[in-house]
Chain A
Amino acid sequence: MKTSNLTHYIYGIADNALILGQRLGELCGHGPNLETDIALTNMALDLLGQTRSYYQYIAKLSTDNLTEDDVAFLRKENEYRNVLLVEQPNTDFAYVITRQYFFDVFHFLLLEQLQKSTDVNLMAIAKKSIKEVGYHKRFSGDWLIRLGDGTEVSHQKAQQAIDDLWMYTNELFDLSTQDKTVIDAGYGANSKDLKEKYYAELTQTLTKATLQIPENKYFQDGGKNGVHTEHMGYILADMQYMQRTYPNMKW
């Protein structure tokens, strides 16, 4: 196994947690009520904690003495491998919940598989994280049902969020050639196999929430290859400012 392939693969998982964690962190003090504010930032903390475990492992694998901070804060936009879904803005609460649910269902299925990784570090991180992600999924799923099956306004807003974010779901299952090498070696989880389960679970929840599944079959991708939406640069500007202004500070 070439270390560079493994590192590339780990970025594909860890960067999702970092960017979504950063997005949720923006809601600190801005949640719709105290309980949801605390819940969303708790989830941000879980995701950033998971990110740290992955980045510490990447730092350990690196041959040029990278630290977890270098990895988190000093890469350029096109070096981040997160999917486009997680970088989408906190437009309103319905978007926050929908984005979260679309990601949580995938995240849970992925970690279920990653627990079987023959790489002990990835196995350990997956076993740890899945316990947390179970709570995330329950939270976002409950809220999506509540919004969809709630008032006329909440239903309409949830449907809008579903319609707008749906096109970012397919990218979750994309794999690069390097990813495939890692998966074939038994180190990674094959996300391609998770697709059917994913959409079945989404369909079940959306039906319960009285929400429609979009008919749009056009799907957007690019994040995993470092080609991001216009939102990504702003996230990084915010996130990297301190590290670039005060080089070598630690988080």
Chain B
Amino acid sequence: MEHQVDIHPKLYPILKAIPDPEIPVLSIIDLGVVRGAKLDGKHAFIEITPTYSGCPAMDMIGDEIKTALTKHNYIPDVDLILYPAWTTDWMTDEGKTALRKYGIAPPTDAITDKKALLGEERVIECPHCGSTNTKLVSQFASTACKAMFKCDDCLETFDYFKCLI
């Protein structure tokens, strides 16, 4: 498969331990931004891709990878790639569960997402109380990758991680 990611088993636990700077409950592996990790002796070659073009976290993620690998005595080389473009499909199930626990509704599939964001159907589940009696407040929220919803049952607003397919 085109999107299969090849991550060297020795590098996996190191990368898995690095959190996304915006959503610390999510590891960069679970977010799906690590697109490759190869090892050649002590040289580690990592490829990362941004969630959104303007994502300000990319520089920091790159730095954190370098710091973590250096600490484990590897010589890191981090490359930013744009293609194939990131999609929410690359987020792991573990990542989605972590998001929900953190209070962010995880991305659904593209069709459901479209219906929800166009206000046709109430399908986004409130991460606080589990109700689907929710409505879209804004297609853009605290970061470009999230939309803002409000739950009409528990009355809390919450972030929804938008689908990008």
Contacts and interface: CB of A to CB of B under 8 A. Distances in A.
A12 to B, nearest CB: 18
B148 interface: yes
A28 to B, nearest CB: 13
B142 A132 contact: no
Interface in A49-108: 49-50, 52-53
Contact of A132 (B84, B117, B143, B144): B144
A42 interface: yes
Given A49-B54, A50-B53, A138-B117, A35 B148 contact: yes
Q: Which secondary structure characterizes the binding site on chain B?
A: loop
A124 interface: yes
Given A39-B138, A45-B144, A125 B82 contact: yes
Contacts of A50: 53-54
A91 B137 CA distance: 25
In which size bucket is the chain A interface? 20 to 34
Nearest to A138: B139
B81 to A, nearest CB: 8
Q: Which secondary structure characterizes the binding site on chain A?
A: helix
Q: Which of B54, B84, B86, B117 has the most CB of A within 10 A?
A: B54
Interface in A118-136: 120-121, 123-125, 127-129, 131-132, 135
A71 B86 CA distance: 27
B82 A124 contact: yes
A48 interface: yes
A35 B52 contact: no
Interface of A: 35-36, 38-39, 42-43, 45-50, 52-53, 120-121, 123-125, 127-129, 131-132, 135, 138-139
Closest 9 A/B residue pairs (Cβ): A49-B54, A49-B53, A124-B83, A39-B140, A45-B54, A35-B138, A42-B140, A124-B82, A128-B85
Given A49-B54, A52-B54, 18 more contacts: A35-B137, A39-B139, A42-B143, A45-B54, A45-B56, A49-B52, A120-B83, A124-B82, A127-B82, A127-B84, A128-B50, A128-B85, A129-B53, A131-B164, A132-B53, A135-B162, A138-B139, A139-B139
29 contacts: A35-B137, A35-B140, A38-B140, A38-B141, A38-B142, A43-B140, A45-B56, A45-B144, A46-B54, A49-B52, A49-B55, A50-B54, A53-B53, A53-B82, A120-B83, A124-B81, A125-B53, A127-B82, A127-B84, A128-B83, A128-B86, A129-B53, A131-B164, A131-B165, A132-B52, A132-B144, A135-B139, A135-B162, A138-B139
